[in-house]
């Protein structure tokens, strides 16, 4: 109960501390971050809307610029024809441009062609009815048509298309106006006329609706120095007053940022080319909505987590403590000497896994001790078998008999060389205190052996050595190469007729040393032998009477791991290739 009580206090304390700390941090930093994030999202949304408005305005300008393709009309303007001649010849030109250069979705409601003297040449008005009426000339009522802005623009040196607006009392809505100057040539040195294009503000309202994320916000478009062009949303009484003051400042080209309204946030997005800025007004309460929601959820989660933590801690502590007590008692008994004892926890959870891993650890410790004993026995056995393989009576008898025959028949230095090779073999084989040697010393031992065997057997075997010089000082287990050649002589080439060849190849790639001994002998079925080598049965090693493949394979796997060892490739009637794979090692072996 004491431990259970500690767990309960710890869990409840940690939960409450985390919630209190989280609430405090939220109020001090995250609250402002969320507020700023909401502002950034509103600004991004307004900028995205402005980008779409810009694309539409750019399309209108492109369509108006196509008026230059009306070569007869442009040529007449360049020639300075009288307005009466222009009206007579091109009275339908505005109609043709309005119907061919624009699509229905562009919302063009009127189009006017003027001379530089502000004389109307041609007019196009779409769907004129008593309720949908448009002026035949914007200068008939300049104040109502906001034509003063057009006059100012035409008189100025400004070449960028003008964007303005006026209020149409028949439609009871704002109409956007685009004015494009027409020049005699590309350097814009001489103006020959201009075109006025009126567009229904409904087109812009449909764009703004895509970015109208809250019914408490108000969006509008307004050029600097001009009246508002299009708007969307509803304004409260206080907001309407704020909006009027701000739009008036923009129209008078004053700084709108000087307007201060504590409970509102204002966002704006300008266009790089055209004088048309997008504005939005949003109550601060909308931006703070996420803050309030998060704070309320934090308090709700705090109460819920305290209740859940209390119940779960009681249940979990009850289930955790009892099996841990049993595990500790078992450990104490094992520590007291009962090494064969194992835990009896059978639960399928972390505690059960802990008990199972504990049992597996004890089993692995027993297995490691057994392997250590076997490794010691295997080393002693390798020493004995090395001595037995090289110094058995039959070997010594045949070799000495050969030496005697040569000595009786001829006085030949071969006897001296044979004796020296035998001496080297005995010296190398008998010195087994150091289990490692180098590739160079193993090759020297192999050449002594092959010389003795060639003299002894009078068997003409061709030996080919392909050894990378960089591998000569690599450390390898002692007596690892000569048994492979001995195996090739005894099993591969003994019953071979014709030319006999053994190829010894030693290469290193990516820090892996590979020693291959290949013969062109009778071959065999290598499958069962590879399976036995992979299995690495130590009992089979102990049953052998020579340092053969199984002994070398077992020593390599013990020293370097299961991924290394011997593999065999063989084709019956063609030959056998035995390869030893082990890690490259540039360390120097102890001198014999």
pLDDT surpasses 90 at 123: yes
**HEC per residue, 477-490:** ECCCCHHHHHHHHH
Question: Higher model confidence: residue 376 or residue 506?
Answer: 506
Residue (of 190, 113, 159) closest to 273 by Cα position: 159
Domain 371-583 has CATH 3.30.565.10: yes
Question: Going along 28-172, which residue ranges are E strands?
Answer: 108-114, 120-125, 162-168
- pLDDT band at 498; cut points 50, 70, 90: confident
- pLDDT band at 546; cut points 50, 70, 90: very low
| Least confident piece of the model among 39-48, 407-416, 571-580 | 407-416
So what's the pLDDT on residue 391?
A: 45
Integer Cα distance of 522 and 453 in angstroms: 19
Integer Cα distance of 59 and 66 in angstroms: 11
- pLDDT band at 390; cut points 50, 70, 90: very low
pLDDT surpasses 70 at 132: yes
So what's the pLDDT on residue 576?
A: 94
**Diameter over CA atoms, the chain:** 143
From edge to edge, which strands make up the β-sheet containing 218-222?
230-232, 218-222, 277-283, 264-269
pLDDT in tens, 286-318: 555 666 666 677 677 767 776 776 676 666 666
pLDDT in tens, 227-255: 998 988 888 777 788 888 888 888 887 65
Question: In angstroms, what CA-CA distances link 35 with 21, 26, 106, 280?
Answer: 20, 12, 38, 17
Question: In angstroms, what CA-CA distances link 334 with 329, 363, 464?
Answer: 9, 13, 60
Phi/psi of residue 467, nearest 5 degrees: -125, 125
pLDDT in tens, 457-466: 777 889 999 9
So what's the pLDDT on residue 394?
A: 47
pLDDT surpasses 60 at 113: yes
DSSP string, 491-551: IISTT--S-EEEEEEEEEETTEEEEEEEE-S-----HHHHHHHHHT-HHHHHH-SSS-HHH
pLDDT in tens, 40-70: 777 888 899 999 999 999 999 999 999 999 9
pLDDT in tens, 434-485: 778 899 999 999 998 898 888 877 778 899 999 999 999 999 988 889 999 9
Strands 461-467, 264-269: pairing kind:
unpaired
So what's the pLDDT on residue 541?
A: 63
Integer Cα distance of 527 and 532 in angstroms: 9
- pLDDT band at 393; cut points 50, 70, 90: very low
Percentage of the residues of the chain whose pLDDT score is greater than 70: 76
Q: What are 504's strand-pairing partners? A: 465, 517
Q: What is the pTM of this model?
A: 0.48
So what's the pLDDT on residue 284?
A: 64
- pLDDT band at 398; cut points 50, 70, 90: low
Percentage of the residues of the chain whose pLDDT score is greater than 90: 33
Of 3.40.109.10, 3.30.450.20, 3.40.190.10, 3.10.100.10, which CATH number belongs to 60-203?
Answer: 3.30.450.20
- pLDDT band at 545; cut points 50, 70, 90: very low
Radius of gyration of the chain (CA): 50
Using DSSP's 3-state secondary structure scheme, residue 317 falls into helix
Average pLDDT over residues 553-560: 85
Instruction: Indicate the helix (H) or strand (E) that contains 281.
Output: strand 277-283
Show Cβ contacts of residue 342 under 8 Å, excluding neighbours closer than 6 positions: 330, 359, 362
């Amino acid at each position: 109960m004491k431990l259970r009580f500690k767990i309960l206090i710890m869990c409840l304390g940690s939960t409450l501390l985390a919630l209190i700390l989280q609430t405090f941090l939220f109020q001090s930093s995250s609250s402002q971050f969320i507020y700023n994030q909401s502002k950034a999202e509103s600004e991004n949304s307004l900028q995205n809307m402005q980008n779409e408005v810009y694309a539409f305005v750019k399309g209108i300008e492109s369509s108006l610029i196509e008026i230059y393709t009306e070569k007869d009309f442009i040529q007449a303007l360049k020639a300075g024809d009288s307005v009466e001649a222009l009206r007579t010849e091109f009275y339908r030109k505005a109609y043709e441009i309005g119907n061919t250069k624009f699509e229905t979705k562009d919302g063009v409601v009127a189009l006017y062609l003027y001379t530089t003297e502000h004389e109307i040449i041609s007019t196009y008005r779409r769907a004129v009815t008593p309720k949908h009426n448009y002026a035949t000339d914007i200068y008939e009522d300049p104040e109502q048509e906001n034509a003063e802005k057009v006059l100012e623009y035409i008189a100025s040196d400004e070449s960028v298309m003008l964007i303005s607006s006026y209020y149409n009392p028949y439609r009871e809505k704002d109409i956007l106006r685009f004015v494009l100057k027409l020049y005699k040539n590309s350097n814009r040195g001489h103006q020959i006329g201009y075109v006025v294009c009126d567009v229904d503000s409904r087109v812009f309202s449909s764009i703004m609706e895509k970015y109208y994320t809250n019914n408490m916000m108000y969006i509008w478009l307004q050029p600097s120095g001009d009246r508002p062009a299009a708007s969307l949303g509803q304004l409260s009484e206080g907001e309407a007053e704020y909006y009027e003051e701000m739009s008036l400042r923009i129209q008078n080209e004053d700084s709108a940022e000087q307007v201060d309204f504590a409970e509102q946030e204002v966002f704006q997005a300008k266009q790089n080319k055209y004088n048309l800025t997008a504005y939005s007004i949003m109550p601060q309460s909308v931006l703070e909505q996420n803050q309030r929601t998060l704070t309320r959820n934090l308090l709700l989660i705090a109460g819920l987590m305290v209740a859940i933590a209390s119940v779960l801690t009681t249940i979990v502590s009850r289930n955790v403590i009892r099996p841990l007590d049993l595990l500790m008692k078992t450990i104490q008994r094992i520590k007291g000497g009962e090494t064969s004892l194992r835990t009896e926890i059978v639960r399928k959870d972390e505690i059960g896994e802990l008990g199972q891993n504990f049992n597996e650890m004890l089993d692995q410790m027993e297995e490691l001790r057994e392997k250590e004993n076997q490794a010691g026995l295997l080393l002693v056995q390798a020493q004995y078998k090395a001595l037995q393989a090289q110094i058995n009576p039959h070997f010594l008898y045949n070799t000495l008999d050969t030496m005697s025959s040569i000595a009786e028949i001829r006085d030949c230095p071969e006897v001296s060389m044979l004796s020296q090779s035998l001496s080297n073999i005995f010296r190398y084989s008998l010195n087994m205190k150091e289990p490692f040697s180098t590739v160079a010393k193993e090759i020297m031992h192999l050449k002594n052996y092959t010389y003795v065997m060639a003299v002894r057997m009078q068997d003409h075997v061709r030996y080919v050595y392909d050894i990378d010089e960089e591998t000569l000082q690599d450390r390898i287990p002692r007596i690892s190469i000569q048994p492979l050649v001995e195996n090739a002589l005894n099993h591969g080439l003994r019953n071979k007729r014709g030319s006999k060849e053994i190829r010894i190849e030693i290469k290193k790639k990516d820090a892996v040393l590979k020693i291959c001994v290949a013969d062109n002998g009778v071959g065999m079925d290598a499958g069962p032998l590879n399976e036995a080598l992979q299995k690495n049965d130590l009992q089979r090693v102990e049953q052998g009477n020579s340092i053969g493949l199984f002994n070398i394979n077992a020593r390599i796997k013990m020293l370097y791991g299961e991924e290394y060892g011997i593999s065999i490739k063989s084709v019956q009637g063609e030959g056998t290739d035995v390869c030893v794979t082990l890690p490259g090692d540039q360390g120097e072996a102890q001198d014999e």
